[in-house]
Amino acid sequence: MPAGRTPNRTAGPEGAARTTYGDLLTSKDARRWAVRGAAALLVGLATGLLTGDWRIGATFAAGTLVGFIVYTSRRHSEVPRWRKPSMAQRRTEAQLRVMKKVGYQVLHAREVPGGNGQIDHFIVGRRGAFAIDSESWDKRLPLRNKLEKLYHGRFSKNERIDEALTEAREAERLISEELGRQVTVRAALAIYGPGMPWDSHNLRGVDIIQGQKVRKWLRSGKSRLTEKEIEEIHRAAQKVLPARY
Protein backbone atom coordinates (compact mmCIF):
# COMPACT_ATOMS: atom_id res chain seq x y z
CA MET A 1 0.00 0.00 0.00
CA PRO A 2 1.95 3.06 -1.22
CA ALA A 3 2.44 6.02 1.07
CA GLY A 4 4.53 9.18 0.77
CA ARG A 5 7.95 8.22 -0.50
CA THR A 6 10.82 9.20 1.78
CA PRO A 7 13.90 10.85 0.19
CA ASN A 8 17.54 10.72 1.30
CA ARG A 9 18.16 7.00 0.92
CA THR A 10 21.57 5.41 0.50
CA ALA A 11 22.49 2.30 -1.44
CA GLY A 12 23.35 -0.72 0.66
CA PRO A 13 24.71 -4.17 -0.25
CA GLU A 14 23.63 -5.58 -3.58
CA GLY A 15 22.36 -2.11 -4.55
CA ALA A 16 19.41 -2.37 -2.15
CA ALA A 17 18.13 0.94 -0.79
CA ARG A 18 18.19 1.48 2.91
CA THR A 19 16.96 4.30 5.10
CA THR A 20 19.64 6.47 6.71
CA TYR A 21 19.54 7.69 10.28
CA GLY A 22 18.97 11.19 8.96
CA ASP A 23 15.67 10.05 7.45
CA LEU A 24 14.38 9.48 10.96
CA LEU A 25 15.21 13.02 12.03
CA THR A 26 13.13 15.02 9.57
CA SER A 27 11.65 18.30 10.71
CA LYS A 28 8.27 16.59 10.95
CA ASP A 29 9.66 13.93 13.27
CA ALA A 30 11.46 16.56 15.34
CA ARG A 31 8.22 18.51 15.82
CA ARG A 32 6.40 15.32 16.76
CA TRP A 33 8.96 14.47 19.44
CA ALA A 34 8.96 18.06 20.73
CA VAL A 35 5.19 17.79 21.25
CA ARG A 36 5.58 14.41 22.97
CA GLY A 37 8.32 15.77 25.22
CA ALA A 38 6.13 18.73 26.16
CA ALA A 39 3.21 16.39 26.88
CA ALA A 40 5.39 14.22 29.13
CA LEU A 41 6.60 17.35 30.96
CA LEU A 42 3.03 18.55 31.50
CA VAL A 43 2.02 15.14 32.85
CA GLY A 44 4.95 15.29 35.26
CA LEU A 45 4.17 18.81 36.41
CA ALA A 46 0.47 18.07 36.89
CA THR A 47 1.21 14.88 38.83
CA GLY A 48 3.82 16.65 40.96
CA LEU A 49 1.41 19.45 41.84
CA LEU A 50 -1.41 17.04 42.66
CA THR A 51 0.75 14.81 44.87
CA GLY A 52 3.00 17.50 46.26
CA ASP A 53 6.01 15.31 45.46
CA TRP A 54 8.27 16.26 42.52
CA ARG A 55 9.78 12.76 42.49
CA ILE A 56 6.41 11.21 41.67
CA GLY A 57 5.89 13.82 38.98
CA ALA A 58 9.29 13.03 37.46
CA THR A 59 8.44 9.31 37.50
CA PHE A 60 5.17 9.90 35.66
CA ALA A 61 6.91 12.18 33.13
CA ALA A 62 9.55 9.52 32.43
CA GLY A 63 6.88 6.82 32.16
CA THR A 64 4.92 8.89 29.66
CA LEU A 65 8.02 9.43 27.52
CA VAL A 66 8.89 5.71 27.63
CA GLY A 67 5.34 4.94 26.53
CA PHE A 68 5.78 7.20 23.50
CA ILE A 69 9.08 5.49 22.64
CA VAL A 70 7.58 1.99 22.86
CA TYR A 71 4.59 3.03 20.77
CA THR A 72 6.85 4.54 18.10
CA SER A 73 9.20 1.52 17.99
CA ARG A 74 6.27 -0.81 17.38
CA ARG A 75 5.02 1.31 14.51
CA HIS A 76 8.41 1.79 12.88
CA SER A 77 9.22 -0.74 10.19
CA GLU A 78 12.46 -1.67 8.43
CA VAL A 79 10.44 -2.11 5.25
CA PRO A 80 10.77 1.19 3.29
CA ARG A 81 8.21 3.69 4.45
CA TRP A 82 6.61 4.15 1.02
CA ARG A 83 5.36 0.55 1.31
CA LYS A 84 3.22 0.30 4.42
CA PRO A 85 3.40 -3.24 5.87
CA SER A 86 0.31 -4.86 7.33
CA MET A 87 -0.31 -4.89 11.07
CA ALA A 88 0.52 -8.61 11.15
CA GLN A 89 3.84 -8.02 9.40
CA ARG A 90 4.75 -5.21 11.79
CA ARG A 91 3.96 -7.39 14.81
CA THR A 92 6.19 -10.17 13.50
CA GLU A 93 8.91 -7.68 12.62
CA ALA A 94 8.87 -6.34 16.18
CA GLN A 95 9.59 -9.85 17.49
CA LEU A 96 12.35 -10.37 14.95
CA ARG A 97 14.20 -7.27 16.16
CA VAL A 98 14.86 -9.16 19.38
CA MET A 99 16.21 -12.15 17.45
CA LYS A 100 18.61 -9.89 15.55
CA LYS A 101 20.21 -9.00 18.88
CA VAL A 102 21.19 -12.65 19.39
CA GLY A 103 22.76 -13.12 15.97
CA TYR A 104 19.84 -13.82 13.63
CA GLN A 105 19.85 -12.16 10.20
CA VAL A 106 16.51 -10.91 8.88
CA LEU A 107 15.20 -9.78 5.49
CA HIS A 108 11.69 -8.40 4.94
CA ALA A 109 9.38 -8.34 1.91
CA ARG A 110 11.50 -10.46 -0.43
CA GLU A 111 10.32 -11.30 -3.93
CA VAL A 112 10.32 -14.89 -5.18
CA PRO A 113 11.52 -14.73 -8.82
CA GLY A 114 9.32 -16.34 -11.43
CA GLY A 115 6.03 -15.65 -9.71
CA ASN A 116 3.97 -13.17 -7.75
CA GLY A 117 4.88 -14.61 -4.36
CA GLN A 118 6.46 -12.70 -1.52
CA ILE A 119 8.23 -13.96 1.58
CA ASP A 120 7.26 -11.50 4.30
CA HIS A 121 10.22 -12.40 6.52
CA PHE A 122 13.31 -14.46 5.69
CA ILE A 123 15.35 -15.35 8.79
CA VAL A 124 18.58 -17.25 9.25
CA GLY A 125 20.25 -17.96 12.58
CA ARG A 126 21.81 -20.66 14.70
CA ARG A 127 18.72 -22.85 14.44
CA GLY A 128 18.36 -22.71 10.66
CA ALA A 129 16.78 -20.74 7.82
CA PHE A 130 13.09 -19.80 7.88
CA ALA A 131 10.50 -18.20 5.60
CA ILE A 132 7.54 -16.68 7.45
CA ASP A 133 4.39 -15.11 6.04
CA SER A 134 2.33 -13.05 8.49
CA GLU A 135 -1.46 -13.13 8.34
CA SER A 136 -4.21 -11.36 10.27
CA TRP A 137 -7.45 -13.35 10.26
CA ASP A 138 -10.87 -12.77 11.81
CA LYS A 139 -10.59 -13.64 15.50
CA ARG A 140 -14.29 -14.50 15.66
CA LEU A 141 -13.78 -17.59 13.48
CA PRO A 142 -11.99 -20.59 14.98
CA LEU A 143 -9.05 -22.39 13.41
CA ARG A 144 -9.28 -26.15 13.14
CA ASN A 145 -7.36 -28.97 11.51
CA LYS A 146 -9.63 -31.51 9.80
CA LEU A 147 -8.05 -34.40 7.93
CA GLU A 148 -4.83 -32.48 7.27
CA LYS A 149 -6.76 -29.46 6.06
CA LEU A 150 -6.83 -26.09 7.81
CA TYR A 151 -10.17 -24.32 8.15
CA HIS A 152 -10.82 -20.80 9.35
CA GLY A 153 -14.44 -21.12 10.28
CA ARG A 154 -15.90 -22.89 7.24
CA PHE A 155 -13.27 -21.48 4.86
CA SER A 156 -10.40 -23.67 3.68
CA LYS A 157 -6.93 -22.12 3.99
CA ASN A 158 -5.07 -24.89 2.18
CA GLU A 159 -4.34 -22.70 -0.83
CA ARG A 160 -2.61 -20.16 1.40
CA ILE A 161 -0.58 -22.92 3.05
CA ASP A 162 0.48 -24.29 -0.33
CA GLU A 163 1.56 -20.80 -1.45
CA ALA A 164 3.77 -20.41 1.63
CA LEU A 165 5.33 -23.83 1.00
CA THR A 166 5.98 -23.05 -2.67
CA GLU A 167 7.69 -19.76 -1.75
CA ALA A 168 9.93 -21.46 0.84
CA ARG A 169 10.85 -24.32 -1.51
CA GLU A 170 11.78 -21.90 -4.28
CA ALA A 171 13.90 -19.87 -1.87
CA GLU A 172 15.53 -23.10 -0.72
CA ARG A 173 16.34 -24.07 -4.32
CA LEU A 174 17.75 -20.68 -5.27
CA ILE A 175 19.91 -20.33 -2.17
CA SER A 176 21.20 -23.90 -2.49
CA GLU A 177 22.16 -23.31 -6.12
CA GLU A 178 23.88 -20.03 -5.22
CA LEU A 179 25.96 -21.66 -2.47
CA GLY A 180 26.54 -24.98 -4.21
CA ARG A 181 25.25 -26.99 -1.27
CA GLN A 182 21.86 -27.99 0.13
CA VAL A 183 20.19 -25.46 2.42
CA THR A 184 16.89 -26.21 4.14
CA VAL A 185 14.31 -23.43 4.55
CA ARG A 186 11.40 -24.04 6.94
CA ALA A 187 8.07 -22.51 5.93
CA ALA A 188 5.60 -20.98 8.36
CA LEU A 189 2.41 -18.95 8.55
CA ALA A 190 2.27 -16.65 11.58
CA ILE A 191 -1.45 -16.15 12.28
CA TYR A 192 -2.82 -13.25 14.35
CA GLY A 193 -6.43 -13.04 15.47
CA PRO A 194 -8.15 -16.41 15.98
CA GLY A 195 -7.30 -18.62 18.92
CA MET A 196 -5.42 -21.86 18.33
CA PRO A 197 -5.27 -25.11 20.28
CA TRP A 198 -1.50 -25.21 19.66
CA ASP A 199 1.55 -22.92 19.67
CA SER A 200 2.70 -24.40 16.36
CA HIS A 201 1.45 -27.26 14.21
CA ASN A 202 2.95 -28.62 10.98
CA LEU A 203 0.37 -29.02 8.26
CA ARG A 204 1.11 -29.92 4.64
CA GLY A 205 4.79 -29.06 5.18
CA VAL A 206 4.13 -25.62 6.70
CA ASP A 207 4.23 -24.73 10.39
CA ILE A 208 1.06 -22.92 11.46
CA ILE A 209 2.09 -20.80 14.44
CA GLN A 210 0.50 -18.32 16.79
CA GLY A 211 1.71 -14.92 15.74
CA GLN A 212 2.76 -14.05 19.27
CA LYS A 213 4.98 -17.15 19.46
CA VAL A 214 7.31 -16.46 16.51
CA ARG A 215 10.43 -16.19 18.67
CA LYS A 216 9.64 -19.42 20.47
CA TRP A 217 9.10 -21.18 17.15
CA LEU A 218 12.41 -19.95 15.75
CA ARG A 219 14.23 -21.47 18.71
CA SER A 220 12.70 -24.87 17.94
CA GLY A 221 14.80 -25.35 14.81
CA LYS A 222 16.93 -28.49 14.65
CA SER A 223 19.83 -27.06 12.63
CA ARG A 224 23.07 -25.85 14.17
CA LEU A 225 24.58 -23.22 11.89
CA THR A 226 27.89 -21.47 12.43
CA GLU A 227 28.29 -17.71 12.18
CA LYS A 228 30.00 -18.19 8.81
CA GLU A 229 27.12 -20.31 7.48
CA ILE A 230 24.59 -17.76 8.73
CA GLU A 231 26.36 -14.95 6.92
CA GLU A 232 26.73 -16.99 3.72
CA ILE A 233 23.03 -17.90 3.63
CA HIS A 234 22.04 -14.33 4.42
CA ARG A 235 24.13 -12.94 1.57
CA ALA A 236 22.84 -15.57 -0.84
CA ALA A 237 19.25 -14.75 0.12
CA GLN A 238 19.90 -11.04 -0.45
CA LYS A 239 21.10 -11.86 -3.94
CA VAL A 240 18.54 -14.41 -5.13
CA LEU A 241 15.48 -12.97 -3.32
CA PRO A 242 15.24 -9.33 -4.43
CA ALA A 243 13.66 -6.73 -2.22
CA ARG A 244 10.02 -6.37 -3.20
CA TYR A 245 10.00 -2.61 -2.60
The pLDDT score that the predictor gives to residue 127 is 93
The span from the CA of 192 to the CA of 105, in Å, is 23
Question: What's the domain range around 56?
Answer: 9-75
Whose CA is closest to 131, among 96, 101, 157, 97? 96
The span from the CA of 26 to the CA of 132, in Å, is 32
| Shared-domain flag, residues 146 and 221 | yes
**Residue finishing a domain among 33, 50, 75:** 75
pLDDT digits (tens, 9 = 90+) for 25-64: 445 566 666 777 777 778 777 787 777 777 777 787 777 7
Least confident of 5-14, 56-65, 198-207: 5-14
Number of domains into which the chain is organized: 2
pLDDT digits (tens, 9 = 90+) for 231-241: 999 999 999 99
| Shared-domain flag, residues 101 and 211 | yes
Q: Does residue 4 form part of some domain?
A: no
Is a pLDDT exceeding 90 seen at residue 173?
A: yes
